[in-house]
Structure 1
Protein backbone atom coordinates (compact mmCIF):
# COMPACT_ATOMS: atom_id res chain seq x y z
CA UNK A 1 0.00 0.00 0.00
CA UNK A 2 1.28 3.46 -0.96
CA UNK A 3 0.73 6.50 1.26
CA UNK A 4 0.98 10.17 0.38
CA UNK A 5 1.85 13.23 2.43
CA UNK A 6 -1.66 14.66 2.14
CA UNK A 7 -4.82 14.15 0.14
CA UNK A 8 -8.50 15.04 0.10
CA UNK A 9 -10.98 12.50 -1.24
CA UNK A 10 -13.74 14.62 -2.75
CA UNK A 11 -16.35 11.91 -3.26
CA UNK A 12 -17.03 9.04 -0.87
CA UNK A 13 -20.34 7.19 -0.56
CA UNK A 14 -21.00 6.09 3.02
CA UNK A 15 -24.25 4.50 1.77
CA UNK A 16 -24.97 3.89 -1.90
CA UNK A 17 -28.46 2.56 -1.25
CA UNK A 18 -29.68 4.61 1.72
CA UNK A 19 -30.76 1.42 3.46
CA UNK A 20 -33.08 0.48 0.58
CA UNK A 21 -32.88 -2.25 -2.05
CA UNK A 22 -30.47 -1.07 -4.76
CA UNK A 23 -32.08 0.13 -8.00
CA UNK A 24 -31.60 -2.04 -11.05
CA UNK A 25 -29.23 0.45 -12.70
CA UNK A 26 -26.93 0.29 -9.65
CA UNK A 27 -26.89 -3.51 -9.74
CA UNK A 28 -26.04 -3.38 -13.44
CA UNK A 29 -23.19 -0.91 -12.98
CA UNK A 30 -21.82 -3.04 -10.14
CA UNK A 31 -21.90 -6.33 -12.03
CA UNK A 32 -21.45 -5.33 -15.67
CA UNK A 33 -19.30 -2.21 -15.54
CA UNK A 34 -17.12 -2.31 -12.42
CA UNK A 35 -17.28 -6.09 -11.82
CA UNK A 36 -17.65 -5.10 -8.18
CA UNK A 37 -17.64 -7.49 -5.28
CA UNK A 38 -19.90 -7.70 -2.28
CA UNK A 39 -18.40 -4.60 -0.62
CA UNK A 40 -19.58 -2.45 -3.54
CA UNK A 41 -23.08 -2.02 -2.05
CA UNK A 42 -22.20 -2.19 1.65
CA UNK A 43 -22.45 0.86 3.90
CA UNK A 44 -19.08 2.18 5.07
CA UNK A 45 -18.18 1.96 8.75
CA UNK A 46 -17.05 5.18 10.43
CA UNK A 47 -14.05 3.76 12.30
CA UNK A 48 -12.88 1.68 9.35
CA UNK A 49 -13.08 4.66 7.01
CA UNK A 50 -11.13 6.92 9.38
CA UNK A 51 -8.48 4.22 9.86
CA UNK A 52 -8.12 3.76 6.11
CA UNK A 53 -7.83 7.51 5.57
CA UNK A 54 -5.16 7.75 8.28
CA UNK A 55 -3.13 4.91 6.76
CA UNK A 56 -3.20 6.54 3.32
CA UNK A 57 -2.58 10.15 4.29
CA UNK A 58 -6.10 11.32 3.40
CA UNK A 59 -6.85 14.25 5.68
CA UNK A 60 -10.41 14.95 4.66
CA UNK A 61 -13.29 13.43 2.67
CA UNK A 62 -16.49 14.80 1.17
CA UNK A 63 -19.37 12.38 1.70
CA UNK A 64 -22.06 12.12 -0.95
CA UNK A 65 -25.63 12.31 0.34
CA UNK A 66 -29.12 13.07 -0.89
CA UNK A 67 -31.13 16.12 0.11
CA UNK A 68 -33.80 13.70 1.32
CA UNK A 69 -33.52 13.62 5.09
CA UNK A 70 -33.28 9.84 5.45
CA UNK A 71 -30.34 9.61 3.07
CA UNK A 72 -28.69 12.72 4.49
CA UNK A 73 -28.69 11.39 8.05
CA UNK A 74 -25.89 8.80 7.78
CA UNK A 75 -23.42 11.09 6.02
CA UNK A 76 -24.29 13.92 8.39
CA UNK A 77 -23.62 11.60 11.37
CA UNK A 78 -20.06 11.06 10.10
CA UNK A 79 -19.56 14.80 9.70
CA UNK A 80 -20.85 15.51 13.20
CA UNK A 81 -18.53 12.90 14.72
CA UNK A 82 -15.45 14.29 12.97
CA UNK A 83 -16.10 17.77 11.49
CA UNK A 84 -12.40 18.24 10.80
CA UNK A 85 -12.42 15.13 8.58
CA UNK A 86 -15.78 15.10 6.84
CA UNK A 87 -18.13 17.42 4.99
CA UNK A 88 -21.06 16.78 2.63
CA UNK A 89 -21.85 16.75 -1.06
CA UNK A 90 -25.61 17.03 -1.58
CA UNK A 91 -27.50 15.47 -4.51
CA UNK A 92 -30.98 14.13 -5.14
CA UNK A 93 -32.33 17.54 -6.18
CA UNK A 94 -35.75 17.72 -7.86
CA UNK A 95 -35.05 20.44 -10.40
CA UNK A 96 -38.61 20.27 -11.75
CA UNK A 97 -39.80 21.59 -8.39
CA UNK A 98 -37.25 24.36 -7.97
CA UNK A 99 -38.64 26.45 -5.12
CA UNK A 100 -39.15 23.72 -2.47
CA UNK A 101 -35.91 22.09 -3.59
CA UNK A 102 -33.89 25.28 -3.23
CA UNK A 103 -35.48 26.08 0.14
CA UNK A 104 -34.46 22.60 1.34
CA UNK A 105 -30.95 23.10 -0.05
CA UNK A 106 -30.57 26.46 1.69
CA UNK A 107 -31.72 24.90 4.97
CA UNK A 108 -29.26 22.03 4.72
CA UNK A 109 -26.41 24.38 3.78
CA UNK A 110 -27.20 26.58 6.79
CA UNK A 111 -27.16 23.68 9.24
CA UNK A 112 -24.59 21.21 7.91
CA UNK A 113 -21.05 21.42 6.45
CA UNK A 114 -21.97 21.29 2.74
CA UNK A 115 -19.01 21.49 0.34
CA UNK A 116 -20.92 21.18 -2.94
CA UNK A 117 -24.17 20.21 -4.63
CA UNK A 118 -24.24 17.49 -7.27
CA UNK A 119 -26.41 16.67 -10.28
CA UNK A 120 -26.26 13.78 -12.75
CA UNK A 121 -28.02 14.68 -16.01
CA UNK A 122 -28.30 11.04 -17.12
CA UNK A 123 -29.80 9.92 -13.83
CA UNK A 124 -33.08 11.85 -13.83
CA UNK A 125 -35.70 12.92 -16.38
CA UNK A 126 -34.76 10.01 -18.64
CA UNK A 127 -31.63 11.94 -19.61
CA UNK A 128 -33.65 14.65 -21.35
CA UNK A 129 -32.16 17.61 -19.48
CA UNK A 130 -28.51 18.48 -20.26
CA UNK A 131 -26.94 20.98 -17.83
CA UNK A 132 -27.37 23.85 -20.27
CA UNK A 133 -31.16 23.54 -20.01
CA UNK A 134 -32.95 26.38 -18.21
CA UNK A 135 -34.30 23.90 -15.66
CA UNK A 136 -30.87 24.08 -13.97
CA UNK A 137 -30.68 27.87 -13.85
CA UNK A 138 -32.42 28.31 -10.46
CA UNK A 139 -29.88 25.91 -8.96
CA UNK A 140 -26.94 27.75 -10.52
CA UNK A 141 -28.28 31.06 -9.23
CA UNK A 142 -28.79 29.74 -5.69
CA UNK A 143 -25.35 28.09 -5.72
CA UNK A 144 -23.76 31.43 -6.62
CA UNK A 145 -25.67 33.10 -3.78
CA UNK A 146 -24.55 30.44 -1.29
CA UNK A 147 -20.99 30.25 -2.71
CA UNK A 148 -21.46 26.51 -3.24
CA UNK A 149 -19.68 24.69 -6.07
CA UNK A 150 -21.87 22.65 -8.40
CA UNK A 151 -20.57 19.23 -9.48
CA UNK A 152 -22.04 17.81 -12.70
CA UNK A 153 -21.61 14.26 -13.98
CA UNK A 154 -19.88 14.25 -17.35
CA UNK A 155 -18.95 11.41 -19.67
CA UNK A 156 -20.98 8.37 -20.64
CA UNK A 157 -22.51 6.88 -17.47
CA UNK A 158 -21.61 3.36 -16.43
CA UNK A 159 -25.23 2.22 -15.97
CA UNK A 160 -27.45 1.58 -19.03
CA UNK A 161 -28.83 5.14 -19.09
CA UNK A 162 -28.99 7.79 -21.85
CA UNK A 163 -25.59 9.48 -22.01
CA UNK A 164 -25.76 12.41 -24.42
CA UNK A 165 -26.90 14.85 -21.71
CA UNK A 166 -23.52 14.36 -20.00
CA UNK A 167 -21.42 15.56 -22.92
CA UNK A 168 -19.14 18.32 -21.53
CA UNK A 169 -20.07 20.66 -24.39
CA UNK A 170 -23.37 21.34 -22.61
CA UNK A 171 -21.37 23.24 -19.96
CA UNK A 172 -20.09 25.73 -22.53
CA UNK A 173 -23.10 28.03 -22.26
CA UNK A 174 -23.34 27.47 -18.47
CA UNK A 175 -19.80 28.76 -17.93
CA UNK A 176 -20.52 31.76 -20.13
CA UNK A 177 -23.82 32.66 -18.46
CA UNK A 178 -22.60 32.05 -14.90
CA UNK A 179 -18.96 33.17 -14.66
CA UNK A 180 -19.31 33.42 -10.86
CA UNK A 181 -20.35 29.76 -10.58
CA UNK A 182 -17.74 27.32 -9.26
CA UNK A 183 -18.34 24.37 -11.58
CA UNK A 184 -16.72 20.93 -11.57
CA UNK A 185 -17.15 18.02 -13.95
CA UNK A 186 -17.17 14.76 -11.99
CA UNK A 187 -16.56 11.11 -12.90
CA UNK A 188 -14.14 12.12 -15.64
CA UNK A 189 -15.36 12.90 -19.15
CA UNK A 190 -14.88 9.70 -21.16
CA UNK A 191 -14.97 9.56 -24.18
CA UNK A 192 -14.96 13.36 -24.46
CA UNK A 193 -11.76 14.16 -22.54
CA UNK A 194 -10.40 16.53 -25.18
CA UNK A 195 -13.60 18.57 -25.15
CA UNK A 196 -13.43 18.79 -21.36
CA UNK A 197 -9.82 19.99 -21.47
CA UNK A 198 -10.61 22.57 -24.13
CA UNK A 199 -13.47 23.93 -22.02
CA UNK A 200 -11.23 24.17 -18.93
CA UNK A 201 -8.70 26.16 -20.95
CA UNK A 202 -11.52 28.43 -22.10
CA UNK A 203 -13.22 29.01 -18.72
CA UNK A 204 -11.52 29.85 -15.43
CA UNK A 205 -14.46 28.64 -13.33
CA UNK A 206 -14.52 25.07 -14.72
CA UNK A 207 -12.65 22.14 -13.11
CA UNK A 208 -12.68 18.35 -13.38
CA UNK A 209 -12.76 15.62 -10.71
CA UNK A 210 -11.52 12.11 -11.52
CA UNK A 211 -13.99 10.33 -9.20
CA UNK A 212 -14.88 6.73 -10.15
CA UNK A 213 -11.94 6.74 -12.58
CA UNK A 214 -8.95 4.54 -11.91
CA UNK A 215 -5.91 6.90 -11.91
CA UNK A 216 -3.78 4.42 -13.84
CA UNK A 217 -6.33 4.55 -16.66
CA UNK A 218 -6.44 8.33 -16.97
CA UNK A 219 -5.77 9.28 -20.60
CA UNK A 220 -2.42 10.72 -21.66
CA UNK A 221 -4.10 13.89 -22.87
CA UNK A 222 -5.42 14.64 -19.38
CA UNK A 223 -2.07 13.86 -17.73
CA UNK A 224 -0.35 16.19 -20.17
CA UNK A 225 -2.86 18.92 -19.29
CA UNK A 226 -2.20 18.32 -15.57
CA UNK A 227 1.54 18.74 -16.11
CA UNK A 228 1.12 21.95 -18.10
CA UNK A 229 -1.77 24.42 -18.25
CA UNK A 230 -4.14 22.39 -16.10
CA UNK A 231 -2.07 21.94 -12.97
CA UNK A 232 -4.65 23.83 -10.85
CA UNK A 233 -7.73 22.34 -12.53
CA UNK A 234 -7.84 18.59 -11.85
CA UNK A 235 -9.15 17.24 -8.52
CA UNK A 236 -8.75 13.80 -6.97
CA UNK A 237 -11.61 11.62 -5.70
CA UNK A 238 -12.27 7.91 -5.38
CA UNK A 239 -16.08 7.42 -5.36
CA UNK A 240 -15.52 4.69 -2.74
CA UNK A 241 -16.70 1.98 -2.42
CA UNK A 242 -17.33 2.06 -6.20
CA UNK A 243 -13.58 2.59 -6.60
CA UNK A 244 -11.88 1.63 -3.32
CA UNK A 245 -10.05 4.47 -1.61
CA UNK A 246 -6.85 2.46 -1.10
CA UNK A 247 -6.67 1.58 -4.78
CA UNK A 248 -7.37 5.16 -5.89
CA UNK A 249 -4.69 6.73 -3.66
CA UNK A 250 -2.12 4.04 -4.46
CA UNK A 251 -2.58 4.41 -8.21
CA UNK A 252 -2.58 8.22 -8.01
CA UNK A 253 0.70 8.22 -6.08
CA UNK A 254 2.32 6.14 -8.82
CA UNK A 255 1.42 8.50 -11.67
CA UNK A 256 4.31 10.03 -13.58
CA UNK A 257 3.80 13.50 -12.12
CA UNK A 258 6.21 15.94 -10.48
CA UNK A 259 5.69 16.09 -6.68
CA UNK A 260 4.21 19.59 -6.86
CA UNK A 261 1.75 18.55 -9.57
CA UNK A 262 0.76 15.43 -7.63
CA UNK A 263 0.17 17.49 -4.49
CA UNK A 264 -2.06 19.90 -6.42
CA UNK A 265 -4.05 16.97 -7.80
CA UNK A 266 -4.39 15.10 -4.51
CA UNK A 267 -4.82 18.00 -2.12
CA UNK A 268 -4.24 21.66 -2.95
CA UNK A 269 -6.76 22.04 -5.76
CA UNK A 270 -9.57 20.61 -3.64
CA UNK A 271 -8.53 22.69 -0.63
CA UNK A 272 -8.77 25.84 -2.70
CA UNK A 273 -11.87 24.97 -4.74
CA UNK A 274 -14.11 23.36 -2.10
CA UNK A 275 -12.77 24.87 1.11
CA UNK A 276 -11.59 28.33 0.01
CA UNK A 277 -8.22 27.66 1.52
CA UNK A 278 -4.60 26.98 0.88
CA UNK A 279 -3.35 25.14 3.93
CA UNK A 280 0.41 25.01 4.16
CA UNK A 281 2.23 21.71 4.49
Structure 2
Protein backbone atom coordinates (compact mmCIF):
# COMPACT_ATOMS: atom_id res chain seq x y z
CA UNK A 1 0.00 0.00 0.00
CA UNK A 2 2.97 2.31 -0.46
CA UNK A 3 2.41 5.63 -2.17
CA UNK A 4 3.77 5.38 -5.75
CA UNK A 5 6.19 8.22 -6.41
CA UNK A 6 6.46 9.24 -10.05
CA UNK A 7 2.93 8.37 -11.18
CA UNK A 8 2.17 11.94 -12.31
CA UNK A 9 -1.14 12.74 -10.65
CA UNK A 10 -4.03 14.48 -12.39
CA UNK A 11 -5.68 16.99 -10.07
CA UNK A 12 -9.33 17.45 -10.99
CA UNK A 13 -9.80 20.57 -8.86
CA UNK A 14 -6.91 23.01 -8.92
CA UNK A 15 -6.47 26.70 -9.59
CA UNK A 16 -4.20 29.71 -9.29
CA UNK A 17 -3.47 31.84 -6.19
CA UNK A 18 -6.02 34.61 -5.79
CA UNK A 19 -5.13 38.29 -5.58
CA UNK A 20 -8.33 38.98 -3.58
CA UNK A 21 -9.92 35.81 -2.24
CA UNK A 22 -13.07 37.49 -0.88
CA UNK A 23 -13.79 39.02 -4.27
CA UNK A 24 -13.62 35.59 -5.92
CA UNK A 25 -16.52 34.37 -3.79
CA UNK A 26 -18.62 37.52 -4.05
CA UNK A 27 -21.11 35.71 -6.29
CA UNK A 28 -22.12 33.50 -3.34
CA UNK A 29 -22.85 36.39 -0.99
CA UNK A 30 -26.56 36.84 -1.92
CA UNK A 31 -27.30 33.35 -0.60
CA UNK A 32 -25.55 33.75 2.77
CA UNK A 33 -27.59 35.13 5.68
CA UNK A 34 -25.36 34.80 8.74
CA UNK A 35 -23.15 37.73 9.64
CA UNK A 36 -20.24 35.53 10.72
CA UNK A 37 -19.47 34.51 7.16
CA UNK A 38 -18.64 38.12 6.33
CA UNK A 39 -15.45 37.80 8.38
CA UNK A 40 -14.20 34.79 6.40
CA UNK A 41 -11.89 34.99 3.37
CA UNK A 42 -14.03 32.29 1.78
CA UNK A 43 -17.58 31.21 2.71
CA UNK A 44 -16.38 27.82 4.00
CA UNK A 45 -13.25 29.21 5.65
CA UNK A 46 -14.31 27.99 9.10
CA UNK A 47 -13.67 24.42 7.90
CA UNK A 48 -10.04 24.85 6.83
CA UNK A 49 -6.73 25.57 8.50
CA UNK A 50 -3.44 26.66 6.93
CA UNK A 51 -5.22 27.93 3.82
CA UNK A 52 -2.71 28.98 1.11
CA UNK A 53 -1.93 32.70 1.10
CA UNK A 54 -3.26 35.14 -1.46
CA UNK A 55 -0.98 35.93 -4.38
CA UNK A 56 1.40 38.87 -4.04
CA UNK A 57 1.05 41.63 -6.60
CA UNK A 58 4.53 40.91 -7.97
CA UNK A 59 4.10 37.15 -8.41
CA UNK A 60 2.90 35.24 -11.46
CA UNK A 61 0.04 33.03 -10.21
CA UNK A 62 0.41 30.68 -13.17
CA UNK A 63 4.04 29.88 -12.46
CA UNK A 64 3.34 29.60 -8.73
CA UNK A 65 0.82 26.84 -9.39
CA UNK A 66 2.97 25.09 -12.00
CA UNK A 67 5.89 25.21 -9.56
CA UNK A 68 3.77 23.59 -6.85
CA UNK A 69 2.62 20.94 -9.31
CA UNK A 70 6.23 20.17 -10.23
CA UNK A 71 7.24 19.98 -6.57
CA UNK A 72 4.50 17.57 -5.55
CA UNK A 73 4.27 15.34 -8.62
CA UNK A 74 1.12 16.68 -10.28
CA UNK A 75 1.39 16.17 -14.02
CA UNK A 76 -1.78 18.01 -15.02
CA UNK A 77 -4.89 19.63 -13.66
CA UNK A 78 -8.47 20.61 -14.43
CA UNK A 79 -8.76 24.38 -14.03
CA UNK A 80 -11.78 26.64 -14.19
CA UNK A 81 -11.98 28.41 -17.54
CA UNK A 82 -10.51 31.90 -17.10
CA UNK A 83 -8.02 34.26 -18.70
CA UNK A 84 -5.30 32.90 -16.39
CA UNK A 85 -6.14 29.33 -17.32
CA UNK A 86 -6.11 30.13 -21.05
CA UNK A 87 -2.68 31.72 -20.72
CA UNK A 88 -1.47 28.80 -18.60
CA UNK A 89 -2.53 26.34 -21.29
CA UNK A 90 -0.66 28.40 -23.89
CA UNK A 91 2.50 28.07 -21.81
CA UNK A 92 1.94 24.48 -20.63
CA UNK A 93 -0.38 22.83 -23.18
CA UNK A 94 -0.35 19.24 -21.90
CA UNK A 95 -0.70 20.17 -18.25
CA UNK A 96 -3.71 22.48 -18.22
CA UNK A 97 -7.28 21.43 -19.02
CA UNK A 98 -10.51 23.37 -18.63
CA UNK A 99 -13.78 22.88 -16.82
CA UNK A 100 -16.54 25.49 -16.91
CA UNK A 101 -18.73 26.33 -13.92
CA UNK A 102 -22.44 26.82 -14.63
CA UNK A 103 -25.61 27.99 -12.90
CA UNK A 104 -28.54 26.50 -14.84
CA UNK A 105 -31.08 29.13 -13.80
CA UNK A 106 -30.44 30.63 -17.26
CA UNK A 107 -31.05 27.39 -19.13
CA UNK A 108 -30.67 28.53 -22.74
CA UNK A 109 -27.77 30.87 -21.98
CA UNK A 110 -26.00 28.12 -20.07
CA UNK A 111 -26.30 25.61 -22.91
CA UNK A 112 -24.98 28.16 -25.40
CA UNK A 113 -22.02 29.03 -23.16
CA UNK A 114 -21.10 25.36 -22.77
CA UNK A 115 -21.21 24.74 -26.52
CA UNK A 116 -19.20 27.90 -27.23
CA UNK A 117 -16.58 27.07 -24.60
CA UNK A 118 -16.25 23.58 -26.01
CA UNK A 119 -15.84 24.90 -29.55
CA UNK A 120 -13.40 27.67 -28.59
CA UNK A 121 -11.40 26.09 -25.78
CA UNK A 122 -12.08 22.35 -25.80
CA UNK A 123 -13.43 22.22 -22.26
CA UNK A 124 -13.15 18.75 -20.75
CA UNK A 125 -15.97 19.09 -18.21
CA UNK A 126 -18.82 21.17 -16.90
CA UNK A 127 -18.82 21.86 -13.16
CA UNK A 128 -21.62 23.07 -10.90
CA UNK A 129 -22.41 23.95 -7.29
CA UNK A 130 -26.17 23.33 -6.82
CA UNK A 131 -26.34 24.90 -3.35
CA UNK A 132 -24.45 27.95 -4.59
CA UNK A 133 -26.77 28.68 -7.50
CA UNK A 134 -29.09 31.63 -7.02
CA UNK A 135 -31.73 30.38 -6.48
CA UNK A 136 -30.55 26.90 -5.55
CA UNK A 137 -31.06 24.14 -8.12
CA UNK A 138 -31.38 20.52 -6.93
CA UNK A 139 -29.20 18.04 -8.80
CA UNK A 140 -32.29 16.31 -10.24
CA UNK A 141 -34.12 19.54 -11.12
CA UNK A 142 -35.50 20.08 -14.64
CA UNK A 143 -33.24 23.13 -15.07
CA UNK A 144 -30.20 20.84 -15.14
CA UNK A 145 -31.64 18.46 -17.71
CA UNK A 146 -30.67 20.42 -20.86
CA UNK A 147 -27.18 20.79 -19.32
CA UNK A 148 -26.91 17.03 -18.86
CA UNK A 149 -28.01 16.35 -22.43
CA UNK A 150 -25.51 18.92 -23.71
CA UNK A 151 -22.71 17.12 -21.85
CA UNK A 152 -23.78 13.85 -23.45
CA UNK A 153 -23.84 15.46 -26.90
CA UNK A 154 -20.32 16.87 -26.38
CA UNK A 155 -19.06 13.66 -24.71
CA UNK A 156 -17.85 15.46 -21.58
CA UNK A 157 -18.62 14.73 -17.90
CA UNK A 158 -20.35 17.03 -15.44
CA UNK A 159 -18.98 17.46 -11.92
CA UNK A 160 -21.54 18.38 -9.25
CA UNK A 161 -21.19 19.07 -5.53
CA UNK A 162 -22.70 16.35 -3.36
CA UNK A 163 -23.41 16.40 0.36
CA UNK A 164 -23.55 19.16 2.97
CA UNK A 165 -22.14 22.37 1.46
CA UNK A 166 -19.32 24.19 3.22
CA UNK A 167 -20.91 27.65 2.97
CA UNK A 168 -23.90 28.08 5.27
CA UNK A 169 -26.52 27.20 2.69
CA UNK A 170 -29.37 24.67 2.88
CA UNK A 171 -28.18 21.22 1.81
CA UNK A 172 -31.17 19.32 0.47
CA UNK A 173 -30.46 20.28 -3.15
CA UNK A 174 -27.19 18.31 -2.90
CA UNK A 175 -28.59 15.20 -1.23
CA UNK A 176 -26.92 12.22 -2.86
CA UNK A 177 -30.29 10.60 -3.62
CA UNK A 178 -30.83 13.22 -6.36
CA UNK A 179 -28.12 11.51 -8.41
CA UNK A 180 -30.19 8.32 -8.59
CA UNK A 181 -32.90 9.99 -10.68
CA UNK A 182 -30.36 11.73 -12.92
CA UNK A 183 -28.53 8.48 -13.68
CA UNK A 184 -31.85 6.81 -14.47
CA UNK A 185 -32.94 9.57 -16.85
CA UNK A 186 -29.52 9.98 -18.50
CA UNK A 187 -27.84 6.56 -18.75
CA UNK A 188 -25.20 7.91 -21.16
CA UNK A 189 -24.11 10.72 -18.82
CA UNK A 190 -20.80 10.67 -16.95
CA UNK A 191 -21.45 12.51 -13.66
CA UNK A 192 -18.86 12.96 -10.93
CA UNK A 193 -19.76 13.76 -7.32
CA UNK A 194 -17.35 16.24 -5.71
CA UNK A 195 -16.75 17.58 -2.20
CA UNK A 196 -17.26 14.37 -0.27
CA UNK A 197 -20.99 13.52 -0.37
CA UNK A 198 -21.03 13.51 3.45
CA UNK A 199 -22.99 12.44 5.46
CA UNK A 200 -24.36 10.26 2.64
CA UNK A 201 -21.07 8.72 1.49
CA UNK A 202 -22.32 5.17 2.01
CA UNK A 203 -25.33 5.98 -0.16
CA UNK A 204 -22.92 7.38 -2.74
CA UNK A 205 -21.15 4.01 -2.79
CA UNK A 206 -24.45 2.15 -3.24
CA UNK A 207 -25.39 4.38 -6.16
CA UNK A 208 -21.98 4.00 -7.81
CA UNK A 209 -22.40 0.23 -7.61
CA UNK A 210 -25.79 0.65 -9.28
CA UNK A 211 -25.03 3.20 -12.00
CA UNK A 212 -22.11 2.75 -14.46
CA UNK A 213 -21.82 6.50 -15.23
CA UNK A 214 -21.59 7.75 -11.63
CA UNK A 215 -18.16 8.61 -10.16
CA UNK A 216 -16.64 10.32 -7.12
CA UNK A 217 -13.73 12.61 -6.26
CA UNK A 218 -12.76 13.67 -2.70
CA UNK A 219 -12.14 17.32 -3.54
CA UNK A 220 -11.86 19.77 -0.62
CA UNK A 221 -11.02 16.91 1.77
CA UNK A 222 -7.57 16.61 3.31
CA UNK A 223 -6.52 12.99 2.74
CA UNK A 224 -6.61 12.09 6.43
CA UNK A 225 -10.35 12.86 6.30
CA UNK A 226 -11.20 10.80 3.22
CA UNK A 227 -14.41 8.91 4.14
CA UNK A 228 -13.81 5.30 5.21
CA UNK A 229 -16.62 4.01 3.00
CA UNK A 230 -14.95 5.59 -0.05
CA UNK A 231 -11.54 4.06 0.72
CA UNK A 232 -13.10 0.61 1.18
CA UNK A 233 -14.98 0.98 -2.09
CA UNK A 234 -11.88 2.17 -3.97
CA UNK A 235 -9.99 -0.88 -2.71
CA UNK A 236 -12.64 -3.25 -3.99
CA UNK A 237 -15.36 -2.86 -6.62
CA UNK A 238 -14.88 0.89 -6.97
CA UNK A 239 -11.29 1.00 -8.15
CA UNK A 240 -12.42 2.45 -11.49
CA UNK A 241 -14.85 4.96 -9.92
CA UNK A 242 -12.79 7.06 -7.49
CA UNK A 243 -10.35 9.72 -8.70
CA UNK A 244 -8.15 12.32 -7.07
CA UNK A 245 -9.06 16.01 -6.79
CA UNK A 246 -7.54 18.54 -4.41
CA UNK A 247 -8.55 22.06 -3.42
CA UNK A 248 -5.51 24.23 -4.11
CA UNK A 249 -5.42 27.15 -3.49
CA UNK A 250 -8.98 27.61 -2.23
CA UNK A 251 -8.58 25.63 0.97
CA UNK A 252 -5.69 23.16 0.88
CA UNK A 253 -2.03 23.31 -0.09
CA UNK A 254 -0.52 20.65 -2.31
CA UNK A 255 2.09 20.18 0.41
CA UNK A 256 -0.56 19.15 2.92
CA UNK A 257 -2.44 16.99 0.43
CA UNK A 258 0.55 14.98 -0.75
CA UNK A 259 2.15 14.72 2.68
CA UNK A 260 -1.03 13.23 4.13
CA UNK A 261 -1.68 11.20 0.98
CA UNK A 262 1.12 8.79 1.89
CA UNK A 263 -0.95 7.52 4.82
CA UNK A 264 -4.08 6.76 2.78
CA UNK A 265 -4.50 2.95 2.84
CA UNK A 266 -5.09 2.31 -0.85
CA UNK A 267 -3.94 -0.96 -2.39
CA UNK A 268 -0.87 -0.85 -4.61
CA UNK A 269 -2.86 -1.55 -7.76
CA UNK A 270 -5.42 1.15 -6.91
CA UNK A 271 -2.99 4.06 -6.55
CA UNK A 272 -2.34 4.65 -10.30
CA UNK A 273 -6.08 4.42 -11.02
CA UNK A 274 -6.98 6.88 -8.27
CA UNK A 275 -4.21 9.38 -9.01
CA UNK A 276 -4.22 9.34 -12.80
CA UNK A 277 -5.74 6.60 -14.95
CA UNK A 278 -9.41 7.00 -13.99
CA UNK A 279 -9.26 10.73 -14.70
CA UNK A 280 -7.59 10.12 -18.08
CA UNK A 281 -10.37 7.73 -19.07
CA UNK A 282 -13.42 9.55 -17.70
CA UNK A 283 -12.32 13.02 -18.87
CA UNK A 284 -10.63 11.80 -22.07
CA UNK A 285 -7.26 13.41 -21.29
CA UNK A 286 -5.38 11.41 -23.90
CA UNK A 287 -2.52 13.88 -24.36
CA UNK A 288 -1.82 14.53 -20.68
CA UNK A 289 1.83 15.04 -19.76
Aligned partner (choices 191, 201, 204) of residue 196 of structure 1: 204
Aligned partner (choices 47, 58, 74) of residue 74 of structure 2: 58
1:251 CA displacement: 2.0
Instruction: Confirm or deny: 8 A CA contact 1:126 1:162 kept in the other structure.
Output: no
Instruction: Confirm or deny: 8 A CA contact 1:155 1:188 kept in the other structure.
Output: yes
1:48 paired to 2:57: no
Aligned partner (choices 86, 89, 100) of residue 79 of structure 1: 89
The 1:156/1:44 distance shift into structure 2, 3 A limit, reads farther
Task: Tell me how many residue pairs correspond in the alignment.
Answer: 271
What does residue 263 of structure 1 align with? 272
Output the CA distance in 2 between the equivalents of 1:204 and 1:30: 32
1:254 CA displacement: 2.6
1:134 paired to 2:155: no
Output the CA distance in 2 between the equivalents of 1:115 and 1:74: 17
Aligned partner (choices 247, 259, 263) of residue 250 of structure 1: 259
1:103 paired to 2:112: yes
Instruction: Confirm or deny: 8 A CA contact 1:62 1:87 kept in the other structure.
Output: yes
TM-score by length of 1: 0.88
Instruction: Give per-residue Cα distances to partners, 1:185-224, cap 9 Å, x unaligned.
Output: 0111111100100000000000001111111111222111
1:121 CA displacement: 0.8
1:253 CA displacement: 3.0
The 1:22/1:276 distance shift into structure 2, 3 A limit, reads closer
1:182 paired to 2:174: no
Q: Which moved more, 1:237-246 or 1:36-45?
A: 36-45
Output the CA distance in 2 between the equivalents of 1:111 and 1:278: 18
What does residue 12 of structure 2 align with? 10
Aligned partner (choices 222, 230, 234) of residue 230 of structure 2: 222
Structure 2: gaps of 5 or more residues? 30-36
Structure 1: gaps of 5 or more residues? 66-71
TM-score by length of 2: 0.85
Q: Find the residue that maps to 1:235 and give its secondary structure.
A: coil
The 1:160/1:56 distance shift into structure 2, 3 A limit, reads same
Output the CA distance in 1 between the equivalents of 2:5 and 2:187: 37
1:20 paired to 2:34: no
1:35 paired to 2:35: no
Output the CA distance in 2 between the equivalents of 1:278 and 1:232: 20
Instruction: Confirm or deny: 8 A CA contact 1:30 1:40 kept in the other structure.
Output: no
1:45 CA displacement: 1.6
Instruction: Confirm or deny: 8 A CA contact 1:225 1:231 kept in the other structure.
Output: yes
Moved over 6 A (4+): 41-44
- Specify which structure has the bigger relative contact order, considering alpha-carbon pairs within 8 angstroms and separated by 6 or more residues: 2
